[in-house]
Amino acid sequence: MPLISFSGITKSFEGVLALNDVSLNILHGEVHALMGENGAGKSTLIKIISGFLKPDEANFKINQSSINIKSVSDSRKIGFKVIHQELNFIPQISVAENIMIGEQYPKIFGTFINWQKLYKKSKRALAELGVGHINVRTPMESLQAGDKMLVKIASALVDNETSSPSLLILDEPTAALNDAECEKLFFVIDKLKKKGCSILYVSHRIEEILQHCNRITVLKDGKNAGTFDASNTTKKMLVSAMTGRDVPLSKPEKREEDKSKKLIMIQDIKSKNLEDINFDLHEGEILGVFGLANSGQSQLLNLFMGKEKIFHGQISLSFAPLPKNPHEAWKNQISYIPKERRQEALMLKGSIRENILLPNLNQYGFFPKRRREIKDSIEICKKVSLKYLEMNQPIYQLSGGNQQKAVFARATLKMPKLLLLDEPTRGVDIGAKFELHQLIRSVTINGSGIIIASSDIPELLGLCDRIVILTNGKQKRIVTNHNLNARQLLQFCYD
């Protein structure tokens, strides 16, 4: 029998059904995956389970006993904890303080914070996960992405020192993690599972779901599309259930770059975070940037946005002077998609139209031209297959994948000469990922150049003509992507 049963969940927004009679049963000590394309209803379902949204209809049961979830407080009291894809923390304060956020700080005489007890409680929460390498007194901002994820999971356990949550919901937990950090996370998940914690695991990464989950529920267009046993399910079966169609698992066909025309020439660049950077970029070429975590991938892209100060060397662009700041970069037809869309790319309370047009307003003149702005926004949204209700809809209401498509729409509204991409398909489902890869490839047809920094090795191998290898901020080599495989690419980082 299921430990936790959600049934008949229905939710509509302004008459549009987001969830239609959705059911989900999670067993005791099970890792249950939730999958679906962006806009399939996963985020809405999570918000209802966690008490952020009130459903139009729903039945909730634990061990066949009915429960009510009318608020976040109700959900937490039942033992449901959510770790969101976009990690929310206060970077300047300590790990221990972040773990204790939302909990009552231990006090001395009811007035002063008992720091020793606070540190002890936070250490114990981490120890419950088998984590002993994180110093709870260190500032949160100093941690790597994987350790930040472990801290957030520990914060879900800090008020459950003798037992695990009845349900832990992990929303795209590995999206920002490298392979080593993923292994730490899966170790923790296995430990929680053995202690009887049920886990709802939301991810687009089919390989890790098939490897680490017990069962998989797929949503499509707000409805159940099936529940599968991971042990006898294939990647093709899941893709078909999610999309209702056969999505190519290979990348779009490459276009030959024009090697006679150089867009960029870089010679002996040294900056605060980079050294020995030397490469050219040709018209129509896609150049990958790869390295182990924090090897300078984002900083290399920042060179072209005027955000990384150059101490030595020279960068020449064939179409404009090197920008001194991001405003000049966008003005000079350099478009940029940053790694953290919520923190760096979006005005979350702004409309879809405002977010798409923000860096492109100069092409509309001094006075607003609302009709043309809406027309252009609708056209580019069709191009990137963005799912939305209306142009004035606040962008925070979109799923993570559709928010990413909106960022792509902004970057390609005015065809760029240079497109800079930092982890461009993080947290995007397999159907949307192929569509974005097609869009990336289409940008090169007009002779645009692309530089893409990604930790997704299959993505780099499928899209790039050449790949720059970075280690600790230094360029180790450039490799031509001819019969290159994942093992070879990773080995270059260690040679």
Q: Is residue 215 one of the residues assigned to a domain?
A: yes
Q: For the CA atoms of 34, 39, 45, 47, what is the dihedral angle to 10 degrees? A: 120
Q: Is residue 23 one of the residues assigned to a domain?
A: yes
**383 pLDDT more than 70:** yes
**287 pLDDT more than 90:** yes
Whole-prediction pTM: 0.67
Taking the C-alpha atoms of residue 313 and residue 410, their distance in angstroms, rounded to an integer, is 31
Domain boundary among 243, 270, 297: 243
- At 269 the three-state DSSP class reads strand
**458 pLDDT more than 70:** yes
Q: Bridge partners of 142? A: none
3-state secondary structure 73-107: HHHHHHCEEEECCCCCCCCCCEHHHHHCCCCCCCE
Say yes or no: 200 and 223 in one domain. yes
Q: Is residue 282 one of the residues assigned to a domain?
A: yes
Say yes or no: 211 and 322 in one domain. no
> Total structural domains in the chain?
2
Q: Which domain holds residue 366?
A: 258-492
Say yes or no: 360 and 224 in one domain. no
DSSP string, 334-394: EEEE-S-IIIII--TTSBHHHHHHGGGGGGG-SS--HHHHHHHHHHHHHHTT---S-TTSB
Residue with tokens 């926004």: 377
Residue with tokens 């302004």: 14
Say yes or no: 304 and 333 in one domain. yes
**For the residues 178-202, what does the mean pLDDT come to?**
86
Q: What are phi and psi of 177, to 5 degrees?
A: -105, 150
Q: What pLDDT shows up at residue 293?
A: 72
User: Which residue, 375, 371, 347, is CA-closest to 359?
Assistant: 347
Q: Do residues 230 and 33 make contact, with C-beta atoms less than 8 angstroms apart? A: yes
Q: Is residue 248 one of the residues assigned to a domain?
A: no
Confidence of residue 162 (pLDDT cuts 50, 70, 90): very low
**For the residues 382-411, what does the mean pLDDT come to?**
88
Amino acid letter for position 57: E
**354 pLDDT more than 60:** yes
Say yes or no: 154 and 287 in one domain. no
Q: Is residue 249 one of the residues assigned to a domain?
A: no
Q: Is residue 251 one of the residues assigned to a domain?
A: no
**477 pLDDT more than 80:** yes
Say yes or no: 350 and 481 in one domain. yes
User: Which residue, 58, 32, 4, is CA-closest to 228?
Assistant: 32
Q: Is residue 66 one of the residues assigned to a domain?
A: yes
**465 pLDDT more than 70:** yes
**253 pLDDT more than 60:** no
Tally: H helices and E strands in the chain: 16, 21
- Residue 437: CATH number of its domain: 3.40.50.300
Mean predicted lDDT score pLDDT of the chain: 87
